Amino acid sequence: MWSLERDSVSIKEELKHELQDAMRTHDRNRADVVRQIVTDVARALKAPGFTGEEDDALYRTVIGSYAKKMSKALPEYERVGRGDSEAADKLRYEVDYLGRWLPKTRSEDELAALVDAAIQATGAADMKAMGQVMGYLRKAHSDIDGATASRLVKARLG
């Protein structure tokens, strides 16, 4: 795989070099996922109402959205008995490969500690305060996994 100092090159440039390397080494899975991200970024840039720039933040948003879609598709493959198929393996590869451009996720134990602190800080005592706790968490920690945080809040307040 191609590699440069992360701080010195944009994600766009990294992906350009990754695609060149993937084509040179005939790594079809890598080439496919890089092309998909480039296509999704182009769509985002042309979307009605888009006013941002083609910067690392846009690439991270697009990569995060795509990785999330692929992660959500995997359980469906497993549910219908195709979890060990070539297509499911490709989804796993794509999610793993794109993870290098995504923020590191917190462990469930770390997130549970943040949830407990948010419940304590907001004084939440029951499910009526769930929105307040989630708002507090999102404001204080914008990088949290909302679905996992929500599940943990419900378990503690429910």
On whether both 81 and 142 belong to a single domain, the answer is: no
On whether both 11 and 87 belong to a single domain, the answer is: yes
Question: What's residue 144's pLDDT?
Answer: 81
On whether both 78 and 115 belong to a single domain, the answer is: no
Specify the residue for token string 């690439």: 59
Token pair recorded at residue 76: 């469906």
Question: What's residue 81's pLDDT?
Answer: 66
CA distances from 144 to 16, 102, 105, 149 (A): 29, 12, 7, 7
Question: What's residue 83's pLDDT?
Answer: 56
Question: What's residue 4's pLDDT?
Answer: 47
On whether both 47 and 81 belong to a single domain, the answer is: yes
**Residue 1: inside a domain:** no
Residues in the chain, total: 158
CATH number, domain with residue 94: 1.10.1510.10
Domain that holds residue 119: 108-157
Q: pLDDT tens for the chain, 158 residues: list them.
A: 544 445 579 999 999 999 999 999 999 999 999 999 999 999 999 999 999 899 999 999 999 999 989 988 888 877 776 656 788 889 889 999 999 998 777 888 999 999 999 999 999 999 999 999 999 998 988 778 788 899 999 999 98
Give the orientation angle of helix 108-122 with respect to helix 130-140, to 10 degrees: 120
CA distances from 48 to 39, 59, 65 (A): 16, 18, 18
On whether both 93 and 112 belong to a single domain, the answer is: no
Question: What's residue 23's pLDDT?
Answer: 98
